[in-house]
Amino acid sequence: MIRSHNLSEKERSRRIARAVVSAVAGMFMVLATAGQCYAQLANLQITPTGAPTGACSGTIFTPAQFNNSSNWGNATGKIGNGTQILVCGTFTGGAGTGELTFQGGGASGNPIVMSCDTGTNFTAPYWGYSGNAAIVVNGFNYITLNGAGCTIQNTQNGSGLAHAAASTGIYVNNTTGVTVENFTIENLCQHTSFADTVGCQTSSVWDASILASSNSNFTVQGNTISNTNTAIEYACGSSDANLTFTQNTITSVNWGVAVGLNGSATACANAVISDNNISNLVTWDSSVPTAFHHDPIIVYVGSGTATIPSPLINANKIHGDNGLDATAWIFVQQNTGTIVPIITNNLLDNSATPLHAPNDGFIYIPSGDVYSNTIFCNNLTLTGIAGSAIQRIGKSKFRA
C-alpha cells in the first residue's frame, strides 16, 4: 500500500507557524549566550576590609577586589557602565603606596560614579606619586569622582617629619569625560619651616594634590585643598580640549592652579580657570627666595615652542598674605612658546597684614587680553620688572 503524503491546508499552516516560532526562539537563545543580555553591577560599596561600615551594607568589595581587573567589564556582576560606587570608612595606606585604581570606565551618558560616605578618609604617611596616588584613573573614560564627605591626607610628609617625598592625592591621565569634585585634600606636604628650601620631592618632582595630564572634557571643581606644593597640576597633551578648573578653595600652597607643558604641541584648547578662591601662600616662603616661587595661578610653556591657545582666567579671588616669594598672582610664562590668555573679572586683594608685594606684578603676561579686573595694591611699592600692578612683555590689550 502506498501511503498518501498529501497534507490539508490547515495542517500545513500549523506546521509553518511552529517552525517560525522555533527559529525565533533559537535566535534569542544565540543572542543571550553570546553575552548580549547581562545584568551589569548597578551598585557597589567599598570598605577597608570588606565588612559593612557606615552606609556600606550591600555588595561590598575590598580595595584589592576593586583593583582586580577581572571584576571589571560590561558583563553580569561586573563593574562597568553606570555602576554607582559608595566608599565608606578609613583607608590606611603604607608610605609611598596607592589605594584605589580604576580598571575600567563608563560610557557617554552612563558614567561610573564614585561617591563617599560622610567621614570617609584616605590616610597614609605619604601617598605615592602619580600612578601610586590614593585614587588613580589611568586610561579609562566617563568617570565621576565625587568626594563630598571624603578627606585624602598625609600624616608624615613635610618639614621636620619622617618623609619629604613627592606625593599625589588623585591622579587622572589619558581620559575623556572625567570629573573630580568636592574632595578635601590636605597636608600632602606640610611646609612649616622658613629654613626648608626643599619641600617634598623625589627626583626633582614635587607633590601635587590633584595631578592630571592628557585629558579631554576634564573638570576639577569644588575641591578644598591645603598644605601642598601644588594644589592642581595639569600637564597638557597634544589632543587635550575642554579643561575646566573651577570653584576650588585653595590655601597654604606654593602653586594654586598650574597648567602647562614642554615641547612643540598646540595643547590645552579651551582651558578655563574660573571662580577659584586662592589665599595665603606665605607658608611656602623660605630662606632662599628662589627655592619656591609662589603663583596662585600659573599658565606656562616650560621649554620648546608649544602653544596654549586663549586660556580663560576669569572671576577668581586671590587674597590674603601670599608671601615674600610670590612671582605674580596670575603668572603667564611662555618663554619660547606662545600663550595668549584672556584675563578678566578677577579680584586680587592685597589688603592682608603684613603686606607682601608680588615680585613681578599682580598679573604678569607676555600677551593677551586683560580687562575688568579689580586689584587692591594697598599703597604698596612694587619692585618688579616695571614696578606696576600689571607687567607686560610683548603685545597685550588692556581694557577698562
Lowest mean pLDDT among 14-23, 98-107, 240-249, 363-372: 14-23
What is the spatial distance between Cα 17 and Cα 7, in angstroms, rounded to a whole number? 15
Q: How confident is the model at residue 389 (pLDDT cuts 50, 70, 90)?
A: low
Query: What is the pLDDT averaged over residues 263-277?
Result: 94
The per-residue pLDDT for 65 is 98
H/E stretch holding 181: strand 178-181
pLDDT > 90? residue 255: yes
In three-state secondary structure terms, 386 is coil
303: phi > 0 → left, psi -120 to 50 → alpha, else beta; which?
beta
* Domain assignment present for 198: yes
Q: Are 362 and 387 in contact (CB under 8 A)?
A: no
> How open is the CA angle 337-268-327, to the nearest 5 degrees?
55
pLDDT, tens digit (0-9, with 9 covering 90-100), for 311-331: 999 999 999 999 989 999 999
85 forms bridges with which residues in the sheet?
Answer: 44, 114
Nearest to 320 by CA among 287, 358, 361: 358
What range defines the domain where residue 228 resides?
A: 38-399
* Domain assignment present for 25: no
What is the spatial distance between Cα 268 and Cα 265, in angstroms, rounded to a whole number? 9
Cβ-in-10-Å burial (0-12, 13-18, 19+) of 275 comes to middle
Q: How confident is the model at residue 238 (pLDDT cuts 50, 70, 90)?
A: confident
The per-residue pLDDT for 387 is 42
Q: How confident is the model at residue 283 (pLDDT cuts 50, 70, 90)?
A: very high
pLDDT, tens digit (0-9, with 9 covering 90-100), for 100-153: 999 999 999 999 999 999 999 999 999 999 999 999 999 999 999 999 999 999
pLDDT > 70? residue 159: yes
380 vs 55, higher pLDDT: 55
Lowest mean pLDDT among 10-14, 105-109, 156-160, 319-323: 10-14
The per-residue pLDDT for 38 is 59
From residue 19, give the alpha-carbon distance in Å to each of 13, 29, 130.
10, 15, 61
Phi, psi of 360 (to 5 degrees): -120, 35
The per-residue pLDDT for 33 is 37
What is the spatial distance between Cα 193 and Cα 285, in angstroms, rounded to a whole number? 9
The per-residue pLDDT for 380 is 57
Half-sphere exposure of 75 (CA within 13 A, CB side): 9
pLDDT, tens digit (0-9, with 9 covering 90-100), for 172-200: 999 999 999 999 999 999 999 999 999 99
Query: What is the pLDDT averaged over residues 206-213?
Result: 97
The per-residue pLDDT for 40 is 82
* Domain assignment present for 209: yes
The per-residue pLDDT for 34 is 39
The per-residue pLDDT for 376 is 85
Query: What is the pLDDT averaged over residues 220-249?
Result: 96
The one-letter amino acid code at 295 reads D
Q: How confident is the model at residue 354 (pLDDT cuts 50, 70, 90)?
A: confident
pLDDT > 70? residue 208: yes
Rg (CA), the chain: 27
The per-residue pLDDT for 386 is 41
Q: Convert 136-171 to b/e letters by CB count within 10 Å (16 or more is b).
A: bbeebbbbbbbbebbbbbbbebbbebebbbbbbbbb
What is the spatial distance between Cα 320 and Cα 136, in angstroms, rounded to a whole number? 33
What is the spatial distance between Cα 83 and Cα 70, in angstroms, rounded to a whole number? 15
The per-residue pLDDT for 331 is 96
What is the pTM (predicted TM-score) of this model?
A: 0.88
From residue 65, give the alpha-carbon distance in Å to each of 71, 272, 300.
7, 37, 40
Q: Report the number of secondary-structure helices (H) and strands (E) in the chain.
A: 2, 35
Sign of CA dihedral 375, 376, 377, 379: positive
What is the spatial distance between Cα 261 and Cα 208, in angstroms, rounded to a whole number? 16
Give the chain's domain count: 1
Cell of 8: 490539508
For residue 131, give the CATH number of its domain.
2.160.20
* Domain assignment present for 46: yes
The per-residue pLDDT for 15 is 53
pLDDT, tens digit (0-9, with 9 covering 90-100), for 18-55: 554 444 444 434 333 334 455 689 999 999 999 999 99
In three-state secondary structure terms, 91 is strand
The per-residue pLDDT for 194 is 97
